[in-house]
Structure 1
Amino acid sequence: MSTATLTTGAGGASAPPEPDLTRDEVVRRAEALARTLVDRQAETEERTYYAPDTHEEFARAGLYRILVPRRYGGYEFGVETFMRVAQALARGCPSTGWMYTLGAAHALAVASIFEERAQAEIFAGGDFVSPATITPAGRARRAPDGGWIIDGTFPYCSGAPYATHFIGHTTVEPDDGGEPELLLFIAPRDQWTLVDDWGRQLGLKGSGSHSVSFAGGHIPEHFALPGTHLSEIDVTRGTPGRRLHGNPEYGGGPLSSMLLESASLAVGMAQGALDAYEDLMRTRKTIFTRVTRAEDPDYQLWYGQAAGMIATAEAAVHEAARRWSATCAEGPEAFTREADLRLAAVCREVVRLAWEAVEGHLFPTAGSSAVRAGERVERVWRDMSTLHSHAGIGVLLRGTATREYARARFGAAEGARP
């Protein structure tokens, strides 16, 4: 997958391709790559995923190893660095940012919840890309060797075109005929096929969010976690990854880490719209006064309002990522469900601010020629609209997680609806 070569460090552990690579440098590389993505957005949408040469550039830049543990050839740079990279790429191309982020981010989950044997096999290639879906689909049954056989189709697998693995949830029918039981699993790329079913959506057409299909896919027993849901794992008693790697970030809140991804992407998308709007401010003239928009009081107001909202959203998501890391460092018991949901609430407000800046200020005042199909402001508007249709944002973040945070805070039971 990558053109980089693994080297072996002390104790037989794999060293990353660039042992001296820094967090700031990998962010700088992402920002430079993002600038090359702006003019390729239409091409990316047409293909339904970013280009092979972009994929290779990401690999060479180390972007697929940011969250991979260092003992397996990764950089282990942590959540704050990863979210800065996600934001940068989404600013250049929302689809590319989404596809990259929702593929590479799940190295954090794998390094947190799976035991050493599984991790050593999963991360053997160094680079890691794995879509993850949280809605159960398909069915699983026991294999003769104690592993699992998976059948079914799993939709909305962002990052699938270049994936090394897939993380999904499915159900197992008990032998006694009782209620189906949940199964979380990770499947290597050779156990599933990519379905050509993405690109007809309103936005994020190039996000590589295809379905993946299993027909008798085999999952080793140690690649599965019965009775587990990725967004609801209790980390307060510690995790296999925290113990294995000695890094507290491999034991953080799973729900808030996933929602930090969405919030970072929303900020990056809004910044891309603001970039396009700034170009219009400098180059377009007003209809009646015939001065540049940058000289017009109304456009100054609209730009200033949007810029302030986006800057606030950016500050909030960066602080949320910092708090996420700080809470991890306090110890396993600090990352309670309440703490996880409180950070999720911050992410909700970040997404809201970013969207309102675009939808309320930039899109309606950019002008009809600037929001024609394929124009940058129009594309961001479509992509952010589609972001809101994601179940994790439109349903879980706006409703379910909000109510659950209040219940966790007050120790209240789920109330009955009138």
Structure 2
Amino acid sequence: MAVATNLSDSDVTSPPEPGLTPAEMVARAEAIAATLVARQAETEERTFYAEDTHREFQRAGFYRVLVPRRYGGYEFGIDTFLRIAMALTRGCPSTGWMYCLGHAHALVVASLFEERAQAEVFAGGDFICPATVAPAGTARRTPDGDWLLTGTWNYCSGSPYATHFIGHTMVPAGEGGDLAPMMFIAAREQWRRLSDWGGQLGLKGSGSHSIAMDGGLVPAHHTLPSHMSQVSVTDGTPGRDLHGNPEYGGGQLSFMVMEDAILAVGMALGALDAYEELMRSRITMFPPNVPRTEDPDYQFWYGQAAGMIATGEAAVLQAIRQWTETCARGPAAVTKEEEMRIAAICHQVVDLCWHAVENYLFPTAGSSAVRQGQRIERVWRDMSMFHSHAGFAVFLSTIAKRELARARFGVGEDAHA
């Protein structure tokens, strides 16, 4: 990721470890991930990862990966961020999901909001900000032009340690106009987290609680008259100009769906790790009773799943590369067709990873390996829950395919937006 080129030394607040490299940060994630495997049950019971894990993430710099250098962040870019998320998800799907969807929206703020808002929102350095795409609640204008928000927003992954919250609500588009979505950033003191997560099939520890506001104050410059998934960056962004970094001018929707793909790969890799342990420690059920590593059927099942997951990983890493290369070509290159093409790749990645687990690893692991609380059983539940997520079940599975074709053939007035 190219770093900002339009900063003087006086503009920059140094991060805690100025010499830290992306490779070192990813290595930290991989080391921490190994310790998360044994803590999955407690994470599910708590409904979010532990306080000491949170502090370890802080020390590692994980909450500054996407924060601009200007504000004390590392500005390492989406490749580093998504590799960290994949590593953590491999160790614990709930922890990886909660981290990923908690920090990802630093890119949204650094790309779309003006300098004044960014300086205020990133003032703390660490940035954890769940977001929801479904509009909810009500908004009332103050005499000064700010907003007072009341309502409840569901599925706010990352909320337990959040510094901010990004949501949407419907407001009049103009004098007497129709209602239209408004995106907003609310500081932590303006909302409260509800204790309503953990009873779902999977991702029980992902910290996806609801957030409630009762007259929460949101400054006008912390709002945008648009929906996060519908923002066009083809004319440039405030962040691209402010930071001199092309990645702060990239497609927001395609970045969101790459999160889905990388999480699926991380989950599937965790299941493959568990299956490998079973291969090395167990023998076949029927004669000749040999180690599973020596049995042709288990060799095939492992190899087939490993190949499918490796293909998914290769595809999403290539999609990340294509996203960053598109950013470098300039704002006009970030077309709707390009975003939907990346989305189509991401759907295939999730499909490959799911079928590797569902068709090969889960059914052949053995009934004792899929008891409640076992690692493969947990991944199967988490990936099943993933399939109910609107980003996958509705958008990637259906809408993205249709919109890709519409953009390619110029159907609809927004086809080339």
Q: Which TM-score tier does this pair reach, normalised by the shorter chain? A: over 0.9
Distance change in 2, residues 1:303/1:400 (3 Å): same
The answer as to 2:132 corresponding to 1:133 is: yes
Q: Distance in 1 between matches of 2:147 and 2:239?
A: 23
The CA deviation string for residues 168-195 of structure 1, in whole angstroms up to 9 with x for no partner, is: 0001247865422221100000000000
Contact 1:148 1:220 in 2 (8 A): yes
Q: Distance in 1 between matches of 2:139 and 2:170?
A: 6
Q: Distance in 2 between matches of 1:413 and 1:219?
A: 35
Q: Distance in 1 between matches of 2:412 and 2:323?
A: 26
Partner SS, residue 185 of structure 2: strand
The answer as to 2:400 corresponding to 1:398 is: no
Q: Distance in 2 between matches of 1:373 and 1:22?
A: 39
| Structure 2 residue aligned with 1:349 | 348
| Structure 2 residue aligned with 1:3 | none
| Structure 1 residue aligned with 2:107 | 108
Amino acid at match of 1:270: A
**Offset at 1:210?**
0.1
| Structure 1 residue aligned with 2:74 | 75
Q: Distance in 2 between matches of 1:377 and 1:73?
A: 39
**Offset at 1:388?**
1.0
**Offset at 1:74?**
0.3
Q: Distance in 1 between matches of 2:65 and 2:51?
A: 20
After TM superposition, list the pairs within 5 Å mapping 1:215-226 onto structure 2. Answer: 215-226=214-225
| Structure 1 residue aligned with 2:234 | 236
| Structure 2 residue aligned with 1:412 | 411
The answer as to 2:69 corresponding to 1:65 is: no
Partner SS, residue 272 of structure 1: helix
| Structure 2 residue aligned with 1:303 | 302
Runs of at least 4 residues off by over 6 Å: none
Contact 1:141 1:173 in 2 (8 A): no
| Structure 2 residue aligned with 1:279 | 277
The CA deviation string for residues 249-292 of structure 1, in whole angstroms up to 9 with x for no partner, is: 00001111011111001000000000000000000111122111
**Offset at 1:10?**
2.3
Partner SS, residue 155 of structure 2: coil
* Aligned-residue CA RMSD (Å): 1.1
Q: Tell me the percent identity.
A: 67
| Structure 1 residue aligned with 2:202 | 203
The CA deviation string for residues 315-362 of structure 1, in whole angstroms up to 9 with x for no partner, is: 001110011101000100001011011111110100000000001100
Q: Distance in 2 between matches of 1:313 and 1:332?
A: 28
Partner SS, residue 83 of structure 2: helix
Q: Which moved more, 1:16-25 or 1:281-290?
A: 281-290
Q: Distance in 1 between matches of 2:224 and 2:189?
A: 20
Partner SS, residue 209 of structure 2: coil
**Offset at 1:413?**
3.5
Amino acid at match of 1:22: T
| Structure 1 residue aligned with 2:253 | 255
Amino acid at match of 1:271: L
After TM superposition, list the pairs within 5 Å mapping 1:31-42 onto structure 2. Answer: 31-42=30-41
Contact 1:252 1:324 in 2 (8 A): yes
Q: Distance in 2 between matches of 1:43 and 1:86?
A: 20
| Structure 2 residue aligned with 1:384 | 383
Structure 2 residues without counterparts, runs of 5 or longer: 1-7
Distance change in 2, residues 1:268/1:409 (3 Å): same
Q: Distance in 2 between matches of 1:12 and 1:279?
A: 51
Q: Distance in 2 between matches of 1:344 and 1:146?
A: 37
Q: Distance in 1 between matches of 2:74 and 2:229?
A: 24
Partner SS, residue 207 of structure 1: coil
Contact 1:168 1:184 in 2 (8 A): yes
Q: Distance in 2 between matches of 1:254 and 1:387?
A: 20
Q: Return the TM-score normalized by structure 2.
A: 0.96
Q: Distance in 2 between matches of 1:391 and 1:399?
A: 11
Q: Distance in 2 between matches of 1:102 and 1:33?
A: 18
Q: Distance in 2 between matches of 1:376 and 1:13?
A: 44
Partner SS, residue 387 of structure 2: helix
Q: Return the TM-score normalized by structure 1.
A: 0.95
The CA deviation string for residues 136-164 of structure 1, in whole angstroms up to 9 with x for no partner, is: 01011111221101010000000000000
Q: Which moved more, 1:391-400 or 1:178-187?
A: 178-187
After TM superposition, list the pairs within 5 Å mapping 1:142-157 onto structure 2. Answer: 142-157=141-156
**Offset at 1:12?**
4.5
Partner SS, residue 129 of structure 2: coil
Amino acid at match of 2:201: L
The answer as to 2:360 corresponding to 1:338 is: no
The CA deviation string for residues 349-393 of structure 1, in whole angstroms up to 9 with x for no partner, is: 000000000011000000000000000000000000111111011
Q: Distance in 1 between matches of 2:126 and 2:265?
A: 26
| Structure 1 residue aligned with 2:5 | none
Structure 1 residues without counterparts, runs of 5 or longer: 1-8
Partner SS, residue 71 of structure 2: coil
Distance change in 2, residues 1:12/1:326 (3 Å): closer
